[in-house]
Structure 1
Amino acid sequence: MSLITNVMDHSLDDGYAEAAARRKSEGEGGLPKTLRAKLGLAAGLVLTALVVTVGAAQARVTAPVVAKERQELIDRIDSETADADKLESTVDTLRDDVSARQRAALKSSGGSAEADLVGLLSGATAVHGPGVKLVVNDAKEAGGGGDGSNPRETSDFSDTGRVRDRDMQRVVNGLWASGAEAISVNGQRLTALSAIRAAGDAILVDNRPLVPPYTVLAVGNGERLSTGFQNSADGLYLHALEESYGIRATISTEGDVRLPAAPSVTVRTAQPKSEKTEKGTS
């Protein structure tokens, strides 16, 4: 009877009782591990859903404000651009009027053909005559260099299919060397004080940004100018860019090209040599 009584009173092994007591003392008692994991996952999902809901609500509230500020900025840019265009148009009109008055004053004071020639060569007056039209454009897929040797000099720019400022410098210098008497790039008349520079990927001519394609007009003997440029080192350089980087260029002779006057020709240092100076130094 004592054995039966002992089995009834101690139906579980003492080891189970000790393990249960140990887990309870360590704070792991109560719920099974699987149930605790499920509850933790559910709590995490609820918290994530709460964060997403709050974020979406905040975004919905702030979206109209951001859109309004963006539209106000766009409207301001458009307005300022329109004002700048009007001012530029006014400046061009006044500049043309000043040039006309200068020419009239020269004629009334006995201006000679030499003075007209000086104005023509300096870019102060509009010109027209036979010449060439050279159009230079980026590659169709600008962004990757060719497999050929690199004809460009080392610079901070990566060699891509984009036309660079140094490319246009060589084109213009090649035309001058081939006999061009007057040159313009995208309507910008070049003078002895003109500069072709870069600002990022944009090309600036006298600080005015240009966009491709770049149309270069040059006054001179059309056939001779075209042949001389294409056979020159700068013409061969442009041909190498076509072959290696896909840059597009076309040149054609024109019976009459018209070039505008330069926006402004301001001389700050040079002075004309007077007769008194000539006598004093002789």
Structure 2
Amino acid sequence: MSLITNVMDHSLDDGYAEAAARKKADGLAGLPRTLRAKLGLAAGLVLAALVVTVGAAQARVAAPVVAKEREELIDRIEGETSAADKLEESVDELRVDVDARQREALSKSGDGDRSDVVGVLSGAVAVDGPGVKLVVNDAEDVGTDGDGQPRGTSGFSDTGRVRDRDMQRTVNGLWESGAEAISINGQRLTALSAIRAAGDAILVDNRPLVPPYTVLAVGDGERLSSRFQDSADGLYLHALQENYGIRTALSVADDLELPAAPSVIIRTAQPITEKGTS
């Protein structure tokens, strides 16, 4: 009777009851694996959608602020550009005034002619007169020479593009041939001018120039042209044209106009005092 009574009182095995309680406590652990995966994917999609929605809302809120900042930046750029233009105009006016006062002072001292010569040679004043016009341009097929070999194999630049050292030699050759004043693309050269490179661009006094490079040189046109073509630098330029396709055109001009240099640095020489002298 005790066995029957026990079966009636405990119809479910204790082990099954414990397992069922544990699964109930675990919650989702009791679900099938595929169902758990689907629920996890759904939760991830909901989270991603929430992040995108929040991001879009924030962008929509920030859009007017970004637009306002952009307009303010544009206004600042335009304002600074206008201020720089006014300063440049003021500098030009002051330069004209200084030149006038300098000529007046030198004329009173009887040294006006010397002042004009110094102004021309230093680039401080605009000049006009006869001379030569030299146009230097990159090769039409920039990259390699006719044999597919780079310029570097002969000690030149590595392509058919005009380089800063090419322009340096061109300008030096014109000076040595008797040029009195030189400009490149309207940029007046002085004794302190620097021709350098920044990547593929050529800088003259830190101002970038683009090809073709038009070199104007004031002087005795016929003599200047012949002397330059016979000089080492003129032959160098001719070699670039013959071997690497760099285009050049030299002509004599009756009237050239060269502007003054935008800024002229004045330096004063000081005598050297020998040691041991009083």
TM-score under structure 1 length normalisation: 0.69
- Which range is displaced more, 72-81 or 167-176? 167-176
Contact in 1 for aligned 2:103/2:115 (Cα 8 Å): no
1:248 Cα deviation after fit: 5.5
SS of the counterpart of 2:217? strand
SS of the counterpart of 1:172? helix
Aligned to 1:148: 150
Letter aligned with residue 255 of structure 1: D
Aligned to 1:67: 67
- 1:127-186 Cα deviation digits (max 9, x unpaired): 211122234456789xx74342226678xxxx5676554343233212212321111123
- Which range is displaced more, 176-185 or 225-234? 225-234
1:30 Cα deviation after fit: 2.9
2-structure distance, mates of 1:54, 1:196? 55
How large is the RMSD of aligned CA atoms in angstroms? 3.7
Contact in 1 for aligned 2:203/2:209 (Cα 8 Å): no
Letter aligned with residue 110 of structure 1: G
1-structure distance, mates of 2:247, 2:167? 13
2-structure distance, mates of 1:242, 1:31? 84
Contact in 2 for aligned 1:145/1:245 (Cα 8 Å): no
1:84 Cα deviation after fit: 0.8
Letter aligned with residue 123 of structure 1: G
Runs of 5+ unmatched residues, structure 1: 1-16, 273-282
Residue 96 (str. 1) matches residue 96 (str. 2): yes
Aligned to 1:221: 220
- Which range is displaced more, 177-186 or 262-271? 262-271
Q: 1:248 to 1:93 in 2, by over 3 A?
A: farther
SS of the counterpart of 1:192? coil
Letter aligned with residue 117 of structure 1: V
Q: 1:49 to 1:235 in 2, by over 3 A?
A: farther
2-structure distance, mates of 1:134, 1:35? 83
SS of the counterpart of 1:180? coil
Letter aligned with residue 39 of structure 1: L
Superposed, 1:246-257 pairs within 5 Å as 249-257=248-256
Q: 1:165 to 1:46 in 2, by over 3 A?
A: same
1:41 Cα deviation after fit: 2.0
SS of the counterpart of 1:262? coil
Residue 81 (str. 1) matches residue 81 (str. 2): yes
2-structure distance, mates of 1:30, 1:246? 82
1-structure distance, mates of 2:255, 2:71? 46
2-structure distance, mates of 1:44, 1:252? 76
2-structure distance, mates of 1:252, 1:171? 15
SS of the counterpart of 2:192? coil
Aligned to 2:3: none
Letter aligned with residue 222 of structure 1: G
Aligned to 2:275: none
Q: 1:74 to 1:149 in 2, by over 3 A?
A: same
Contact in 2 for aligned 1:129/1:220 (Cα 8 Å): yes
Superposed, 1:119-198 pairs within 5 Å as 119-137=119-137, 145-146=143-144, 147-150=149-152, 163-198=162-197
Letter aligned with residue 151 of structure 2: S
Contact in 2 for aligned 1:186/1:210 (Cα 8 Å): no
Give the share of equivalent positions with the same residue, in percent: 73
1:218 Cα deviation after fit: 0.9
Q: 1:78 to 1:200 in 2, by over 3 A?
A: farther
Residue 40 (str. 1) matches residue 37 (str. 2): no
Contact in 1 for aligned 2:151/2:244 (Cα 8 Å): no
2-structure distance, mates of 1:237, 1:52? 64
Letter aligned with residue 34 of structure 1: T
2-structure distance, mates of 1:153, 1:181? 28
Aligned to 1:14: none
Runs of 5+ unmatched residues, structure 2: 1-15, 272-278
| 1:211 counterpart (209, 212, 227) | 209
2-structure distance, mates of 1:37, 1:267? 82
